[in-house]
Amino acid sequence: MFRYKEEKTLDERKHETEKIQSRWPEKIPIILEKDSRCTLEALPKSKFLCSNDFTVQQFTASIRKKLNLDKSAGVFIFIGGKELLSGEALMREVYQQKKDEDGFLYMLYSEHEVLG
| Residues 21-80 pLDDT 10s | 999 999 999 999 998 888 888 899 999 999 999 999 999 989 988 888 777 778 888 987
| Domain harbouring 57, CATH code | 3.10.20.90
Burial code of 61-87, b = ≥16 C-beta within 10 A, e = fewer? eebbeebeeeeeeebbbbbebeeebee
Q: Is the pLDDT of residue 115 over 60?
A: no
- The answer to whether residue 115 is domain-embedded is no
- The answer to whether residue 116 is domain-embedded is no
Domain count of the fold of the chain: 1
What is the pLDDT, as a whole number, of residue 30? 97
pTM of the model: 0.89
